[in-house]
Every structure is written in C-alpha cells, then in structure tokens.
Chain A
Amino acid sequence: MSRRTYYMASIILFVPLIVWYAGKFSTVPVLRFVEAHAVADSTGDSKKVIVPGTIVEEKGIEEGGSEISFYLTDADQNVERVDYDGSEKINIPALKKAAEAGQQIRVAGHICGERFHAKNLFLE
C-alpha cells in the first residue's frame, strides 16, 4: 500500500475513534431533585444535571418573555419549580399536551437556589 493509503486509513479511523472517546468524557448525570441539590451543595457550584419527571398540570405552564416556568414531579414525587430560558424555542402546545398526558420529560440544567434552571427540555 502507498503512504497516501496509510494516511487516508489513519484519518478514517482517527475521526470516529476520537468522537467515540470524547463521548466517554461527556456524562451529564441523570438524577432526582434531592440528588441534584446534594451535588450542587457538595461541589459548591451548579453542576449540570438531567432530571426526568412529569409536569404538574394543575399548576400550569407560565410563559414570561423568553422564559417558561412550570412545576415538575420527579421519581421521588418531589415537586420543584423549573425555569427554562434555553436558546431553543419550545413548542408550548406540545409541552401542555405532555403535561395533560402525564408524559415524562427530561430537564437539563442546574439547581439554582430552590429552583431548577433548565437550559434544555426533552420530551421522552
């Protein structure tokens, strides 16, 4: 094989290898609210976490400017207020539908005092 073939093969192997390897260093922990608070308290900074849960439909979904707020019940049945101000525009009707159906969502963000400051919302 020519030297060029070796180089091309190296590049083809190298790129996915690095992406796969990087994936091993990118872990946002999936936690419950109690654990998320414990992480924030123990590290002293607001580590990014994911909390899965369902929206408390009775308390509604508030829209205020670029922020959306609602209450989320986690697996321990703990309820916390979630403020979302991420860059991605959220489809409010879809979110309301998820709340009505009791569909699980995931919020990714930080504990901020007694609230959860979300930067991403994912419908399950």
Chain B
Amino acid sequence: MLGDIGAFLLALGLSSALLSGVAYVVHIRRPDAQPVLNVARSGFYLMVFSIMIASAILMYLILTHQFQYHYVWAHSSTNLGRPFLFAAFYAGQEGSFMLWTLLTALIGVFVIGYAERYRYESETMSVFMLVIALLLLILVFDSPFETIYAALADQMLPAGFIPEDGRGLNPQLENLWITIHPPMLFTGFAAMTVPFVFAIAGLLKKEYQRWISIALPWTLFASMVLGFGIMLGGWWAYETLGWGGYWAWDPVENSSLIPWLICVALLHTMLVQLRTSRQVEGGEQVRTGGLVRTNVILAVLAFAGILYSTFLTRSGVLDDTSVHSFVAPGDFIYSVLQIIMGIFLVIGFGAIIWRWKDLKAKTLAMKSDSRENWLGVGSALLLASAFIVTVGTSWPILMPQFGQPKAKLDISFYDSTHIWLVLGILLINGLSVLLQWKGSDLARVKKNLGVVVPLSITATAIAAFLGGVDDLFFILLLFGAFFALLSNALQGYKFLRKNWRMAGAYVAHLGLTILVLGVIATSGYSTTEHVQLVEGESTDVFGYSVEYKGPVQIELEKKDREKYQHILEFRKGGDLEVVRPVIFWTDFNNREQSFLEPGILYRATSDVYVTPKALAPVGGNPTVVLAKGEQAVVPLDSNYSVRFEKFDMSRAASDSLQGAVVEVITPDSAFYTTVFRRLDGRYRMESVGGTDLQLGFAELQADKTDLAKSKARIAIASSSHPSPPEKRAITVDISIKPFILLVWGGVMIMVVGFFLSILRRRRELVALFRREGADSVADVTPEGGDQSDG
C-alpha cells in the first residue's frame, strides 16, 4: 500500500514537473501572464512535495524492514544499524537516483527564489524542470517501490511471500563514510545543474554577461561540494578498502573527476569574462567580457559530464573494469541515460549554435602579461586533464567499437600525462596570481618573482634533501608546488589584511598546493614491505618490532558474518601501539571470498598502513591437493605416494562425515584407506596400517559447476619425520605513507577557500544588483580595482 503511494507520488512528481516546465516555457513567451507563472510555481512545489514524501516513504519502508519491496530486501537487513539503514536509501541504483532527484528538487527550492530575484525564473526553471522530469522518468520506470513478487516474477514466488530478512548492504559499504560520501557527491551532481540552467537562460535572454555574475556563486558551490565529495571517497577508500591508497584512477572515481575539472575550469573562465567586461574600446563602455563562448560551452559540458558520469557508473558498461562492485548493469538505464545525455547536449549546443553570432566578446584582446590570459591557459590545462581522463575512462567502451576487447587502460597512462599537466597548472597558478588584471606592472611582477622564486628553490632543495627526493619529475613538481604555494601565500596575505573575504581564491589555491605536496610524498615516497607475521614471534619492519598476537572475533551479534581483528603490536623504543587490520567473511558473497580492511597508525608526518593479505598457518602437517585419480609423493618421505581415488559420502547423512578414499603406495605394496572429516571442517589424523604415516581429510574443494572435478586436500604426518607445530600467521603489507595528512588537510583548506569565495561573490552580487536597480539588465561586474580573483 505504502509502496503504491510512493510510486504514485513519483508519477505525480513527474506530471507536475512536466506541467511546471511547460508553464514556464509559456511564461517565457507571455511574461505578463501571472496565472501561468502561478501554475508553473505550483507545479514546482507539488513536484518537490511529491519527491519529499516519496523519499520519506522509502526511508520508512527501509527502517521498518518491509522486505516485500525488492529494493528494501536487496539493500537492507534487520541487523543493520540505524546509520546504515539510512545509507541503504541510496545504496542501490534506484535509491541513488532517488537521492539525486531529491537533492536536485531541494536545490531547486533555493534556485527558484534566487532566479526570481534576478528575473531569470522562467528561463532557468523551464530547463531545471526538464532535468528533474527526466530523473523522475527513470524512477517511474526503475522504481524503488517495486514489490519483490514483481521484481522476481521469474522465480514464481508464492503470493504474499515476505522474506524474513534482507540481503543487507555490501559489507564493504558498512562504514560510516557511506553516510557522508554519497550524499555529498550527489549534492555536487545536483548543484552542477545550476550553472547549466543559468547558461541556457543567459542564451535565451541574450544576457551573455549577466548570467556569469548570477551563476558564479553556484558554480563555486558545485565545485566545492563535488570536489569535497570526491575526496571523501578517497578518504573512505584509504581507511577501509585495503588496497593501500586513496586514488586509483578507477573509472568510477574518474567519472566524478571529469565534471569537477570542467567546472573548475569554468569558474576560472567565468572570472575572466567578469573581469574583462568593463574594457573601454574607442571610448565606449562595452559589456561582454572575454571567453563568452567558452563559458557557455563549458557550462553545458560540465553538466553533460555529470550525465556521462552517471551513464558510466550506473549503466553497467564498466561492470568488469571497475573495482566498484556495487554498479549494476541495466539495459533500461543504459538507453535512458543515452537519451537524456542526447537531449541536454542538443538543448545546450543547440542554444549555443542559435546564438553563436551574438556570442562575441566586446572587449580588447587579452594582453599576454595579464592575469586573464594566464587564467585562460590554466583553464585549458584543466580541460586537457578532463579530456585525458575522459579518454582513459571511456576506453573500455571505445575499444569494442573498433573490434577490440573491452580493456581498461593501465593507470600509468594517467600518471604519465598528469605529471606534466599538474606541473603546468601549478606554475601558471603561481604566475597568474602575481600578475594583474588587464595588464601587469612588470617591475612589480619581477619584484614579486624575485622573492617567490628563490624561496621556492630553497624550499624545494630543503624538501628534496630531507625527503630523499632524487627523481627529476618530483623535484620539478615540488618546485611547482612551492612556487604556487608561496605566490598564493604572498598575495593572499595582502588581501587577508584588507578583507578576509577577498582571500578565498588564494586559500583554495594554497589547499591545492598542499594537496599536491601530499600526493607527491605519498605516491612517490611510500615504502612497503610484504611480511608474514607468525603468532607470538617478533619481526622487525621499518624500525618497529611487530608481533602478531592473534585474531579477535568482533561483531559477534551479526550472524551473517565472521569478522576478525588481527592484533598487531608495534613497538619502538618504549612505546607500544596496536594496529588492527580486519579480515572477514559474510553471507553477502556466500563467504566465497574474504573482505579485507586495513589497520592504520595515524601519525602527523607518516601513517603506518597495514594491509592484510592472507591467513595461512606455518608449520603443522604438510598437505597435498588431489583431484580424482591424481597422485603425489608424500612430502615428508619420498618412499611413499598417495593417490586420491574417490569421495565416500556413505556416512554423510548418518554421521555428518565426508570421506576420501586414498590409495597409499609404498615401495612394496599399495592399499586403500578411507579418511574422514566432519561437515563442520574438523578432521582427525588417522594412522595408516603397516606404515609410519598418518593421513587426514583436511578439505573438500568442491567444484560447484562440475562435481566430478572436486578435489581433496589430504594432510600427511609421519612419526619418523615429525612436522613442526602449527602456528597462526598473517601475511600483510606494511607501508609507510609519508605526509598523507597533507592530502586531507589540502582538501579541507580548498573547501574553506571555496566557501570564502562563495561568500564574497554572493555579497558582491547582492550589492551590485541593489545598485543597478531591479529593472536594469546592465553589466554586473564588480566595481573597484582590486586584483583578487576569489
């Protein structure tokens, strides 16, 4: 019943979004028709209400474990804690679209008032409603409210069947990061709609300059939130996924990075247009600044990047090339997302082509020593990065088009290209902040360079010496990072003394340079040792004496898993610290493969990062794995061989015992014996008459697809060649990650910088529009000659 209401609300949301969109389009043509505008607004609020209530219903169904709904069954379970039940809302494909739609609708509530204030409502909201309508269209056809009987119709479930429990979350997602990272990422996705709709509105209204000022705070917001969301994903990966890093150029990571790079390029080119719009040409004041075409194109591309990202991650086209195992293939989503991408590309580029001749910068050519010139070059490098990442990420879907197998590019492709791009971006960033808008006083630039360059060389030399950096690329990158850092610190300090709000860009750039320093340190100078740690024995690694103290089972209340913390004691001097990497098995994947979580010793200068690799005892009786008919020489005594004849399941039902019939071949004779193991895995070593051997049936390695190929692992002991006692052991990679804190700290500083810039641009916008008056559509470039670009 509730599910039906939810599905109805989604359909109602779709209808009202379409109604609102159409009414807004009519209002563009008939601006005096207030009733039409009222219908458009009512439709918008009805759509928001529908989505909010539908979302609340889905959340209620999850919290109350209503497993008759397929989505609830597939992504939640009774043993999930409250935070993970909330996260189950967006753990699957339908729910993540629901979250995206909900966040877009909520952002719409802010956009509608904002756009109204600047007389952009009908133009922006007509496109905005189309975005929401298409998201709702996906939800109507790929509904989270589908019942389990409908979703699993082919399994002929009896009417009224309700599973006792759900499948639960992918255990790797059961981490508090899931409550932060996806909502942040989807807020970024939703926010990216705003610059796009304002760009289209600017084209419709022929206000090629004005939309820039209005959309800039939103572009900053979208960059901030999406960038932060991406990095939270990296943080999550570092702390829980156990592959030892925070960025792997995985297609799913890349697909969020592409729109972010375009968006960051866009906000820089928007600044150029804003700053070059008050040029004087022949004594006449002109309005449209430089890069006017670039800005509308980038606004369209940034939004298209979001759709393309969704297409890559949600359609399943990268299903066998991404480590993100939660992507689910779907022909429907594949087709719908292609159509949606097509619609918005046609709308975006159609509008640009329509206004192409009008879209001209009415400004002087940029001087080569001006800040705007170098901001343009820097943006070009950001776009080059976006293009490279797009090519690399799309490679698995490009290759089959040329008759080649689907293949992922080696990540060295990204590293080898970005080492140059990042260096270029850092140098241009450092230089551009020392330059002035519209042309520089070269004497002043030389003076600043005279301070910054020697300091950068000195800092590079000290860092290279202390860190043992001897690779030329890394030395160049270090110089680039210090050059940008010191240039921004110098300029930022000047503005900070005048007005802290003006320092946003410099703070964000400082964050970027600190992030790059962290990336250089962790990617270039992390060291790893692969060691096997035996219980009760100490091993020296990186100056620590490391002792494995054995496993401790955790989360005992959860019956669907067997989870162990492996206690490793790290001693240095008199200090003792404990690291707890985790290995666990769950019913989620039928316990076929273990899940690994790293253990981390957090340090200000370098983390000690322990990645569990395998559990394998040392010592004990040797074993041989044999298929039927296979023979092996006894490892302890080459006079004997054993041959696996067949399984004996005659006592399985009565005594819960599985048997293996083994032929023992001695120099003089050959005879058969049967060894048994209990169904729970326990077994006993049994003496073989006439020899000093003991055999045990250690494991049945079943081949589920062809039982005839199943194998037996036979343990062998010899009284004349005693085996060493068996001890627990864990194999781990122990890494030292130098200055990883710079990566996280750099991101946080960037976020603060973005936030300051948003505050500044917002204040400027309000002040300027108050000055120009409600009816004016005049230029809205800020007055004053400040040289900040925050």
How close is A26's CB to chain B, nearest CB, in angstroms? Answer: 5
Is B412's beta carbon under 8 Å from chain A? yes
- Give the contacting residue for A22; candidates B329, B391, B705; CB below 8 A: B391
Q: How far, in angstroms, from A106 to B365 measured CA to CA in the complex? A: 57
Q: Is B417 a contact partner of A21 (Cβ separation < 8 A)?
A: yes
**Residue interface bits A14-45, CB-to-B below 8 A is 1, else 0:** 11001101101111100000000000000000
**Residue interface bits B407-439, CB-to-A below 8 A is 1, else 0:** 111101100010000000000000000000000
Chain B residues with CB below 8 A from A15, complex form? 387
* Beta-carbon contacts under 8 Å, A33-71 to B: 48, 50
How close is A89's CB to chain B, nearest CB, in angstroms? Answer: 11
Is A119's beta carbon under 8 Å from chain B? yes
**Residue interface bits B319-339, CB-to-A below 8 A is 1, else 0:** 010000000010000000000
Q: Is B409 a contact partner of A25 (Cβ separation < 8 A)?
A: yes
Q: How far, in angstroms, from A18 to B391 measured CA to CA in the complex? A: 8
Is B388's beta carbon under 8 Å from chain A? yes
- Give the contacting residue for A108; candidates B380, B405, B409; CB below 8 A: B405
Q: Is A115 a contact partner of B413 (Cβ separation < 8 A)?
A: no
Q: Is the interface of A mostly helix, strand, loop or mixed?
A: mixed
Is B392's beta carbon under 8 Å from chain A? yes
Chain B residues with CB below 8 A from A120, complex form? 400, 405-406
Supposing A14-B384, A115-B705 touch, asked if A22 and B407 sit within 8 A by C-beta, the answer is: no
How close is A65's CB to chain B, nearest CB, in angstroms? Answer: 10
Q: Is A108 a contact partner of B406 (Cβ separation < 8 A)?
A: yes
How close is B398's CB to chain A, nearest CB, in angstroms? Answer: 9
Band of interface residues on A: 20 to 34
Q: Is B395 a contact partner of A22 (Cβ separation < 8 A)?
A: yes
Is B403's beta carbon under 8 Å from chain A? yes
**Residue interface bits B668-705, CB-to-A below 8 A is 1, else 0:** 00000000000000000000000000000000000101
Supposing A14-B384, A114-B709, A120-B400 touch, asked if A28 and B391 sit within 8 A by C-beta, the answer is: no
Is B343's beta carbon under 8 Å from chain A? no
Chain A residues with CB below 8 A from B403, complex form? 122
How close is B112's CB to chain A, nearest CB, in angstroms? Answer: 38
How close is B160's CB to chain A, nearest CB, in angstroms? Answer: 28
Chain A residues with CB below 8 A from B413, complex form? 21-22, 24-25
Chain B residues with CB below 8 A from A115, complex form? 705
Is B2's beta carbon under 8 Å from chain A? no
Chain B residues with CB below 8 A from A93, complex form? none
Most buried by A among B317, B320, B380, B410: B320
- Give the contacting residue for A122; candidates B392, B405, B709; CB below 8 A: B405
Supposing A15-B387, A122-B403 touch, asked if A22 and B409 sit within 8 A by C-beta, the answer is: yes
Chain A residues with CB below 8 A from B33, complex form? none
Q: How far, in angstroms, from A57 to B709 measured CA to CA in the complex? A: 23
Q: Is B703 a contact partner of A113 (Cβ separation < 8 A)?
A: yes
Chain A residues with CB below 8 A from B531, complex form? none
Q: Is B407 a contact partner of A48 (Cβ separation < 8 A)?
A: yes
How close is B609's CB to chain A, nearest CB, in angstroms? Answer: 19
Is B399's beta carbon under 8 Å from chain A? yes
A-B contact count (CB 8 A): 59
Is A91's beta carbon under 8 Å from chain B? no
Q: Is B400 a contact partner of A48 (Cβ separation < 8 A)?
A: no
Is A5's beta carbon under 8 Å from chain B? no
Q: Is B320 a contact partner of A26 (Cβ separation < 8 A)?
A: no
Q: How far, in angstroms, from A14 to B400 measured CA to CA in the complex? A: 23
- Give the contacting residue for B407; candidates A28, A87, A114; CB below 8 A: A28
Chain B residues with CB below 8 A from A87, complex form? 316-317, 329
How close is B338's CB to chain A, nearest CB, in angstroms? Answer: 14
Most buried by B among A10, A14, A25, A87: A25
How close is A45's CB to chain B, nearest CB, in angstroms? Answer: 11
Chain A residues with CB below 8 A from B392, complex form? 22
* Beta-carbon contacts under 8 Å, A68-84 to B: none
Q: How far, in angstroms, from A108 to B396 measured CA to CA in the complex? A: 13
Supposing A22-B395, A25-B413, A115-B705 touch, asked if A50 and B405 sit within 8 A by C-beta, the answer is: yes
Q: In this complex, what residue of A is CB-closest to B366? A: A3
Q: How far, in angstroms, from A113 to B702 measured CA to CA in the complex? A: 11
Q: In this complex, what residue of B is CB-closest to A48? A: B407
How close is A22's CB to chain B, nearest CB, in angstroms? Answer: 5
Supposing A25-B412, A119-B320, A120-B400 touch, asked if A19 and B405 sit within 8 A by C-beta, the answer is: no
Chain B residues with CB below 8 A from A7, complex form? 380
Q: How far, in angstroms, from A88 to B329 measured CA to CA in the complex? A: 13
Q: Is B391 a contact partner of A26 (Cβ separation < 8 A)?
A: no
How close is B373's CB to chain A, nearest CB, in angstroms? Answer: 9
Supposing A28-B407, A48-B407, A88-B400 touch, asked if A19 and B329 sit within 8 A by C-beta, the answer is: no
Supposing A50-B405, A113-B703 touch, asked if A26 and B387 sit within 8 A by C-beta, the answer is: no
Q: Is B703 a contact partner of A26 (Cβ separation < 8 A)?
A: no
**Residue interface bits A79-123, CB-to-B below 8 A is 1, else 0:** 000000001100000000000000000101000011100011010
Q: How far, in angstroms, from A65 to B42 measured CA to CA in the complex? A: 49
Q: How far, in angstroms, from A25 to B395 measured CA to CA in the complex? A: 10
Chain A residues with CB below 8 A from B316, complex form? 87
Chain A residues with CB below 8 A from B417, complex form? 18, 21
How close is B214's CB to chain A, nearest CB, in angstroms? Answer: 27
Q: In this complex, what residue of B is CB-closest to A24? A: B413
Q: Is A26 a contact partner of B395 (Cβ separation < 8 A)?
A: yes
Supposing A18-B388, A21-B413, A21-B417 touch, asked if A114 and B703 sit within 8 A by C-beta, the answer is: yes
How close is B272's CB to chain A, nearest CB, in angstroms? Answer: 14
Chain A residues with CB below 8 A from B395, complex form? 22, 26
How close is B337's CB to chain A, nearest CB, in angstroms? Answer: 15
How close is B413's CB to chain A, nearest CB, in angstroms? Answer: 4
Mind listing 9 A-B residue pairs with CB under 8 Å? A18-B388, A18-B417, A22-B395, A24-B413, A25-B413, A26-B410, A48-B320, A108-B405, A114-B709
Known A120-B400, A122-B403; further 7 A-B contacts with Cβ < 8 A: A18-B387, A26-B395, A26-B409, A26-B410, A106-B405, A114-B703, A115-B705
Which 10 A-B pairs rank lowest in CB-CB distance, beginning with the nearest? Answer: A108-B405, A25-B413, A120-B405, A25-B410, A25-B409, A28-B407, A26-B407, A26-B409, A22-B391, A28-B405
